Structure 1
Amino acid sequence: MPVTDVITSPEDLTIRVIADFAHPVDRVWAAYSDPRQLERFWGPPSWPATFTEWDHTVGDHAQYHMTSPQGEKAYGSWEFLEIDPKNRFVVLDSFADEHGNTVEDLPAMRAEFVFEPTEQGSRLTTVSSFTSLEALEQVLSMGVVEGLTLAMGQIDAVLEGLRAYAQGKGTRTELLSDTHVRITRLIDGSRELVWRAHNDPELIRKWMLGPDGWEMTTCEVATAVGETFHYAWAPVGDVEGQPFGFEGELLFVDEPSRAVTTERMAGTPGPQTINDLNLFEEDGATLITTVIEYPSLEVRDMILGTGMAEGMEMSYARLEELLSA
């Protein structure tokens, strides 16, 4: 996690965030001055950002929105006030409506980004300044510090490149909060192929199997918002275990990059999770990222304790073999 300190100062009406990177200033600057790289980490894991306009020139603007797991959009706007390439830039960061117009009754902030070299790589200091204590407190109550910290936790994959970040490291599980977990796995293959493998029943039956000795007995896929899915498995032959399954509803889809579903054990009222699947392709490989929201810490630990991640790795290994063939 690159964020090393967050300092809130009611006296100065500022929020200061310090992040350290094992990369030179040039690389970090490039990530913040390219909207395609920036949108990969600007929004929190379950609210990814999309920049729809970008003119990195003093006096001009950037427009973006962040999309929730249910498909709701929160809009924002940057006005570039100062730019000193590879050293510093300053924006007026405002809440906006869907047309890019500033929402006047929500607080705007002056955000200064300062890039400095260090012995280990570089440091980014972001200082957000507010016009009143009420504005500062309103933004804090909206969870901006937690959201920014989680968002910054995604930048390593951007700075390192997907292969250096994830290749050969298997399925990785990160605890983001008491109720959020991020699971990542790099697959050699295009995003379109990985998407198809998650949505074509014939392909799903070949890889989504978990441990050896199990077969998929039900594979009903949801492809449109509001549809439900149902997957079920059973042991084969002398393999021990009880048949089980999962079911849920497709909440949001953006083919071929994102799908959000609810999930619970089939035939039960819950507990229910929200699974946010995102696919990003770079250099012929696709990073599968699934952010899971649990209803409680206890449910999170119970489900992780079942060996879920190990089973996912077995399935992903099959997926990689399938796509390579």
Structure 2
Amino acid sequence: MLLKIGGRKMKTQVKGNQLIIERTLLVSQERLFQAFTTSEELENWWGPEGWQTKNKRFEFEPGGHWHYCMKCEDQAQGDFYGMESWGLGQFKEIHAPEKFSYQDMFSDEEGNVNTDLPAMEIEVEFIPADGGTKYVATTTLDSAEALEKMLEMGMVEGFNSQMNRLEQYLAK
């Protein structure tokens, strides 16, 4: 699937239980890595448009945790307005500024994992490209069925919206 965004394209591909997302942004590898790995910066763009993220805990190191809340602040989003979505990540490998990996899970405010929703293993790569950096995220779930559940929940659309926010943030 190819989504056109602001003149650039976000490429998504499903391979069994994996979702691969690619997009080139017009910033250096180091700058893009920083936007993904600094708590204050993540709070400025993480989450779909109309949502605000607050980090309760952010330890960017192997074994460190990222506990965050996304809250819908856009009244035009109807029933989603005021809704909170909590997540808990655990960083695994970090190779600055080329890549990092983490496990991402749905949680509650206290950090208890919601086992009704699938956990995701995510590897994020930052590859120098002409005039910028290619972002490649490979998200692996336990099964193709679990991935299908996440796709039905709007995973690609939400991520597309989030990448728009990132691009706008980096342009400032």
Counterpart contact for 1:3–1:149, Cα < 8 Å: no
- Is residue 2:49 matched to residue 1:38? no
Counterpart contact for 1:111–1:128, Cα < 8 Å: yes
The match for 2:164 is: 153
Specify which of 13, 17, 20 is matched with residue 21 of structure 2. Answer: 17
Uncovered stretches (5+) of structure 2, i.e. residues with no partner: 74-80
Kindly report which structure 2 residues correspond to 1:233-248, keeping only aligned pairs within 5 A, or say none: none
The match for 1:192 is: none
Moved >4 Å (runs of 4+): none
Counterpart contact for 1:112–1:128, Cα < 8 Å: yes
How many residue pairs match? The answer is 159
Counterpart contact for 2:71–2:85, Cα < 8 Å: yes
Greater gyration radius: 1
SS where residue 146 of structure 2 aligns?
A: helix
Kindly report which structure 2 residues correspond to 1:119-158, keeping only aligned pairs within 5 A, or say none: 119-158=130-169
TM-score, length of structure 1 as denominator length:
0.47
The match for 2:113 is: 102
The match for 1:6 is: 12
Counterpart contact for 1:43–1:148, Cα < 8 Å: yes
| 2:46 alignment partner AA | W
TM-score, length of structure 2 as denominator length:
0.88
**Counterparts of 1:91 and 1:81 in 2: how far apart (Å)?**
5
When the two chains are superposed, the root-mean-square deviation of aligned CA atoms in Å is 1.3
| 2:33 alignment partner AA | W
Kindly report which structure 2 residues correspond to 1:39-54, keeping only aligned pairs within 5 A, or say none: 39-54=43-58
| 2:128 alignment partner AA | P
Deviations, residues 60-117 of structure 1 (Å, cap 9, x unaligned): 1001111124322110011001110101000100000111111112100001000110
**Counterparts of 1:3 and 1:98 in 2: how far apart (Å)?**
35
Seen in structure 2, the aligned counterparts of structure 1 residues 101 and 156 have a Cα distance that, compared at 3 Å, is same
**Counterparts of 2:22 and 2:67 in 1: how far apart (Å)?**
25
1:41 is displaced (CA, Å) by 2.0
| 1:23 alignment partner AA | V
Deviations, residues 207-253 of structure 1 (Å, cap 9, x unaligned): xxxxxxxxxxxxxxxxxxxxxxxxxxxxxxxxxxxxxxxxxxxxxxx
The match for 2:63 is: 59
SS where residue 131 of structure 1 aligns?
A: coil
Higher relative contact order (CA 8 A, sep 6+): 2
SS where residue 90 of structure 1 aligns?
A: strand
**Counterparts of 1:3 and 1:67 in 2: how far apart (Å)?**
27
Uncovered stretches (5+) of structure 1, i.e. residues with no partner: 162-325
Counterpart contact for 1:31–1:158, Cα < 8 Å: no
